[in-house]
């Protein structure tokens, strides 16, 4: 087990370096001068520009810039935004909000998706199955920003349950509706995965054996059907964490939540390279760690899987 985790951690290194290099190249190698953009419509003062360039290492060759950035990542010095705040402070404000939003979304999609998917899979071809499959297709097909507008319109403007603009330091209660919107598409995928997986496992030999040896239906269902059916679902939830945090760009924009998505989007539009790269790096690390955890969870769900 320890050896397996060590090997996986080693495998993460090239992916981490590759992904950050990719993002770094996309932000800094492509045309467009962020320093010139900083001056806006005013004429560029060459002295100030040169000083800023030196401060952000923009005068160095690309690879040196990248290596300096990597050094910064490991010493937790991610540079400053163009307005002078340390990027790490901006992160400390944005990440707690988005993590809360993502937790709401994951709870919604995992709990609701697995329960509805289980009920649908148990009666495959029944009316509940058809209804939930159709509903899930609808949720996947309608773009998330349309779901967001409609939710904001209904819950904030018509029913007045929530404020249309969430603002800084949101409470859990304020994040419920945005969290449901964020998790809605993944909810549909979890539902369909669970449903297919349960329907397939119901006809498996080990389930027939479990029933034949006289186990109660509840135990057959929870231990023999559901536990085995959860493996693809857990895989999906793992890869989805990164997607949810990125999807927050849209959801946070609609409900005006000052989280990772909103901050990152502003930084991209203003070509604040340091902020963009730092945020995306953290998102990539979160993605890699969650996927490692998911692989370790397999062994818990399926005792046949042993890591050596």
**Cβ closest to other proteins, residue 78 vs residue 288:** 288
- Of 118 and 264, the one with the shorter C-beta distance to other proteins is 264
CB nearer to other proteins: pick between 99 and 246:
246
Q: Is 141 in the site for other proteins (CB under 8 A)?
A: yes
Considering only CA atoms, which of 253, 254, 149, 255 is closest in space to residue 264? 253
According to DSSP, residue 44 is labeled: P
Using DSSP's 3-state secondary structure scheme, residue 32 falls into coil
CB-CB contact of 178 with 102 (8 Å): no
Q: How far is the CB of 14 from other proteins (least distance, A)?
A: 5
Q: Name the nearest CA neighbour of 25 among 84, 72, 59, 69.
A: 69
> Distances from the Cα of 158 to the Cαs of 12, 20, 85, 138, 155, in angstroms?
48, 44, 39, 23, 6
Structure tokens at 278: 């730092």
Spatial CB neighbours of 262, under 8 Å, sequence gap ≥ 6: 94, 248, 249, 252, 253, 256
Which pair of tokens denotes residue 15? Answer: 């992916």
Cα torsion through 75, 80, 81, 87, rounded to 10? 30
Taking the complex as a whole, the smallest distance from the CB of residue 151 to other proteins amounts, in Å, to 12
Q: What are phi and psi of 86, to 5 degrees?
A: -65, 135
Of residues 22 and 54, the one with the C-beta less far from other proteins: 22
Nearer to other proteins, 2 or 14 (CB): 14
Among 10, 30, 159, 308, binds other proteins (CB under 8 A): 30
Q: Cα–Cα distance between 300 and 176 in angstroms, integer?
A: 30
Does residue 62 bind other proteins (CB under 8 A)?
Answer: no
The 198-217 contact track toward other proteins, x by CB under 8 A, reads --x-----------------
> Segment contacting other proteins (CB under 8 A): 19-27, 64-72, 93-101, 299-307?
19-27
Judged by CB under 8 A, the number of residues near other proteins is: 45
Binding status of residue 190 toward other proteins by CB under 8 A: no
287 is a site residue for other proteins (CB under 8 A): yes
Query: Scanning the structure block, which residue is given the tokens 């496992």?
Result: 201
96 near other proteins, rule: CB under 8 A: no
* Shorter beta-carbon distance to other proteins: residue 179 or 242: 242
Q: Which stretch binds other proteins (CB under 8 A): 38-46, 68-76, 210-218, 246-254?
A: 246-254
Instruction: Tell me the Ramachandran region of residue 43: left when phi exceeds 0, alpha when psi lies from -120 to 50, beta otherwise.
Output: beta
Q: Is 19 in the site for other proteins (CB under 8 A)?
A: yes
Quote the least distance from Cβ 143 to other proteins, whole Å.
5
Residues of the shown chain interacting with other proteins in the complex, contacts defined by CB under 8 A: 11, 14-16, 18-19, 22-23, 26-27, 30-32, 137-138, 140-146, 149, 153, 157, 200, 242-243, 245-247, 249-250, 253, 264-265, 268-269, 271, 276, 280, 283-284, 287-288
């Amino acid at each position: 087990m320890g050896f397996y985790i060590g090997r996986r951690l080693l495998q993460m290194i090239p992916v981490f370096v590759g992904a950050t290099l990719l993002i770094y190249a996309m932000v800094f190698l492509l045309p467009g001068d962020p320093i010139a953009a900083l001056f806006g419509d005013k004429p560029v003062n060459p002295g100030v520009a040169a000083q800023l360039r030196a401060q952000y290492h923009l005068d160095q060759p690309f690879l040196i810039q990248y290596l300096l950035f990597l050094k910064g990542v490991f010493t937790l010095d991610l540079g400053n935004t163009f307005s002078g705040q340390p990027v790490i402070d901006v992160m400390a404000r944005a990440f707690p909000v988005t993590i809360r939003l993502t937790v709401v979304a994951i709870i919604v999609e995992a709990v609701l998706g697995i329960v509805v998917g289980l009920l649908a899979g148990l009666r495959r071809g029944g009316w509940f199955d058809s209804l939930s499959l159709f509903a899930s297709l609808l949720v996947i097909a309608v773009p998330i920003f349309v779901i967001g507008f409609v939710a904001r319109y209904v819950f904030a403007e018509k029913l007045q349950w929530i404020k249309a603009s969430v603002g800084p330091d949101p409470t859990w209660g304020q994040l419920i509706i945005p969290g449901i919107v964020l998790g809605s598409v993944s909810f549909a995928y979890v539902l369909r995965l669970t449903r297919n997986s349960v329907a397939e496992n119901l006809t498996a030999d080990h389930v027939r054996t479990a029933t034949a040896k006289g186990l109660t239906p509840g135990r057959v269902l929870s231990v023999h059907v559901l536990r085995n059916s959860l493996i693809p679902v857990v895989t999906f939830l793992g890869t989805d964490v990164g997607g949810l945090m990125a999807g927050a760009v849209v959801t946070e924009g609609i409900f005006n939540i000052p989280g990772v998505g909103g901050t990152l989007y502003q930084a991209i539009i203003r070509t604040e390279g340091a902020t963009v790269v730092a945020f995306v790096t953290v998102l990539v690390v979160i993605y890699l760690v969650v996927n490692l955890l998911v692989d370790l969870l397999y062994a818990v769900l399926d005792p046949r899987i042993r890591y050596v």
